[in-house]
Amino acid sequence: MKDYFCMGIEYMAIASISLKHRNTFALPVNALHLIIADRTELMLKVWQQTQKYQIPLLVLGEGSNMLFLEDFSGTVMVNQLKGINIKEKSDTWHLHVSSGENWHALVCYTLARGIAGLENLALIPGLVGSAPIQNVGAYGIELKNICEYVDLLDLFTGSINRIPGDECGFGYRESVFKYQLQTQYIIIGLGLCLSKKWRPMLRYGDLTKLNPATVTPNQIFDSVCAMRRSKLPDYRKLGNAGSFFKNPLVSAEKYALLISQYPNMSHYYQDDGQVKLAAGWLIENCELKGYRVGGAAVYHNQALVLVNVNNATSQDVVSLARHVRATVAFKFDIWLEPEVRFIGAMGELNAVEVLS
Ligand code: FAD
Ligand code: EPU
């Protein structure tokens, strides 16, 4: 093991380090080593060393979509690849953004330069490089609408591969980066294409109150920030990882049955005939708002968010999530699937299996 700490590359390696401030749930977990990686060469060297010593490696952004189940028995590599490059064409802006940039800061950066198109995605926590993994989305826009390409570092070969946006398998909280392109690759950059023929997306929430003829990107930004601040807890004050579960998709038949019993149930028709239900509505209608297990609770203002109210442990959050899932299934015959990624001692675990 000694070699591992003496390999002569510039990084911070510590025998055990707290991740409490590196996961937005603020769970008290540790990792064996923490490495701040600001160059792809360093990422490659770290990967080679972890392979050599058979130590698990976890790439970490801002930890805003993770549930650590226990201490991580390996190396956590924090992505800090930086840089934003903008090219202007006659009808479009093309941005190349390094994956370690902060997403919300990028939204602000573009708006400050008169580049519209990211305003609906304001205040989503995390890094740019994490955004394609679950195809981040909010208020009617998903990353897939603007993603031109994703650049991947292939850890086996050291080469950089560019995946065009339409080959990323983007779906609702889905992409190839969760499956085929997960283990051997690190996302190092993102290409975004933003049209100069800006059209406001005003279909959701308070955005419907804005006038499409006069609204500006900054007004949308302000409205999105206000809505998010009124509904979602600030993870710096109350640990959480945003929506804990995904909104479930059900068949038209299942939807017809449910809506006959619950006429005020929130729902969204999909192009493929399925209907998306609001998991927050389902959880609230099981009267689970405020329900608590140890230090973890269902957030009183948005039932889809589980919060760390008082020094929660990973086990508190798991027990709470298991109870929420079973209660919703009992009442509505729908098994919710976690959106949050579950991380065990050796790496990611299947979240549904953990909760079953
Ligand atoms: P992390 O949690 O650090 O990592 C997530 C996963 O990606 C991990 O498996 C990690 O290993 C992997 N990973 C990270 N970086 C890389 C990389 N460079 N290469 C390969 N793998 C990598 N999401 C939405 O879609 N819409 C929302 O509106 C939204 N609102 C939120 C609100 C709150 C209050 C919170 C806490 C979260 C919210 N989220 C939302 C979820 C979260 O912000 C996104 O999933 C975000 O993209 C995660 O970024 P991160 O850098 O924190 O990723
Ligand atoms: N609702 C309730 N009770 C609740 C919560 C919600 O009845 O406790 C109802 C609302 O009244 C509304 C519907 O459910 O009719 C949807 O609620 P909301 O607009 O708050 O959005 P959501 O479906 O809960 C999704 C995303 C969010 C994203 C918002 C805005 C998922 C899993 N979550 O939440 O993303 O910010 O829409 O677009 O798709 C995240 O992924 O972490 C996240 C926060």
Residue nearest to atom 19 of ligand 2 (CA): 205
Residue nearest to atom 6 of ligand 2 (CA): 280
CA of 131 relative to ligand 1 center, distance in Å: 6
CA 215 to chain centre: 28
CA of 54 relative to ligand 2 center, distance in Å: 41
CA of 62 relative to ligand 1 center, distance in Å: 7
CA of 139 relative to ligand 2 center, distance in Å: 10
Give 302-341 pLDDT, tens digit per residue.
999 999 999 999 999 999 999 999 999 999 999 999 999 9
Any idea which residue has 């070699």 for tokens? Answer: 3
H or E segment at 76?
strand 72-79
d(CA 257, CA 278): 16
Q: Would you name the residues annotated as active-site residues?
A: 173, 243, 339
124 C-beta closer than 6 A to ligand 2 = no
d(CA 111, CA 118): 8
137 C-beta closer than 6 A to ligand 1 = yes
For ligand 1, what atom is nearest to the CA of residue 185?
A: 20
| Ligand closest to the CA atom of residue 139 | 2
Pocket mutation for ligand 2, best pick of 304, 307, 334, 341 (most atoms within 8 Å of C-beta): 304
Give 181-223 pLDDT, tens digit per residue.
888 999 999 999 999 999 999 999 999 999 999 999 999 999 9
User: Which of 21, 46, 29 is CA-nearest to residue 313?
Assistant: 29
In which residue ranges of the chain is pLDDT below 70? 1-15
45 C-beta closer than 6 A to ligand 2 = no
For ligand 1, what atom is nearest to the CA of residue 62?
A: 52
110 C-beta closer than 6 A to ligand 2 = no
Residue 214 makes CB contacts below 8 A (sequence gap 6+) with: none
pTM of the predicted protein model: 0.96
Contact 63, 22 (CB under 8 A): yes
- pLDDT value for 180: 82
- pLDDT value for 16: 84
d(CA 19, CA 173): 25
Any idea which residue has 């294409």 for tokens? Answer: 193
Residue nearest to atom 34 of ligand 1 (CA): 242
CA of 32 relative to ligand 2 center, distance in Å: 36
129 C-beta closer than 6 A to ligand 1 = yes
For ligand 1, what atom is nearest to the CA of residue 232?
A: 34
- pLDDT value for 169: 97
Quick one: CA torsion of 248, 249, 251, 257, rounded to 10 degrees? 40
CA of 268 relative to ligand 1 center, distance in Å: 24
Helical ranges in the chain per DSSP H:
2-5, 40-52, 103-112, 217-231, 252-261, 279-284, 314-332, 351-355
